[in-house]
Amino acid sequence: MKIVELSPNPDSRARLVGYLHDIEKESMGNRVERPCVVVCPGGGFEILSPREADPPATAFFAKGYHVFTLYYSIRDEADDLRPLVDISLAIQTIRENAAAWGILPDKIAVCGFSAGGYVAAAAGTLWDHPKLKQRTDLQSGQGRPDAMVLCYPVLTAGEFAHRGSIERLSCGLSEEEREAVFSLEQHVNSSTPPAFLWHTVEDATVPVENSMQFAAALQRARVPFESHIYHKGRHGMSMCTTEVGSSDPHLATWFPLCLEWLGQQFEFEY
């Protein structure tokens, strides 16, 4: 395994930490090049949860994916679309180095939890938005992911918004402006990448309607998606294992389901 660490955005303190499989052309056969997953931990743009960083990253790595964890901009540095610039530039950087790192450049997924789910989904819905174009060179969509895995994600600035996250992102904007720009379900169209979503009805922090409204928008745009709405379970369950302090075998089924779905999208046997 090779570990790389870099700063994708020169205008922020964001860090991108990569876990790369060794390239063994003679012994690995068809595993010379692999898909990649970029993990975005949650934390309401106040912290970056360790429970939603290394545990999912190592889980995807163990199934054969190259993995990066993006520690994007938070707190006062989260305004001015900075987390969105962070993820866009991170994906561009991965594509630029794909050949050297053994990554399939057209098979890069983002996996976000809670507020990190917003960052991941924004990469797939706002990748060509004029406001983002004002902040960074989008290089003809090179910052757009090829698939999205959204785990109890923050997605809307409307009625069911997680207000703390949206206020961090949209500091200085009116309520009307916030909803127009930051309600991602309003930006889904035919160019939005396929998505896998999971959420719980009992989530008292980020209402389940975030995922339900987004799924409905994907359906209207005829974008392929898979959605799993579980009844029981609090917010922030991460991998739903003992390691992350929230063991729940039923909720933990989200990960093998995700692997099956992502493997189908990328034609990758894990």
CB 118 within 8 A of CB 84: no
* pLDDT > 60? residue 27: no
CB 108 within 8 A of CB 95: yes
Task: Dump pLDDT digits (tens) for 168-207.
Answer: 888 767 777 777 889 999 999 999 999 999 999 999 999 9
Dist. CA 268–CA 38, nearest whole Å: 16
The pLDDT of residue 84: 95
Lookup: tokens for 41: 């931990």
SS3 content of the chain, % helix, strand, coil (to 5): 40, 20, 40
Dist. CA 164–CA 172, nearest whole Å: 14
Domain range 2-266, CATH architecture = 3-Layer(aba) Sandwich (3.40)
111 or 140, greater pLDDT? 111
The pLDDT of residue 250: 98
Average pLDDT over residues 81-99: 96
DSSP letter, residue 128: T
pTM for this predicted structure: 0.95
CB 212 within 8 A of CB 152: no
The pLDDT of residue 179: 79
Confidence label for 41 from pLDDT (cuts 50, 70 and 90): very high
The pLDDT of residue 262: 98
Dist. CA 108–CA 263, nearest whole Å: 12
30 or 221, greater pLDDT? 221
Least confident of 5-19, 54-68, 164-178, 250-264: 164-178
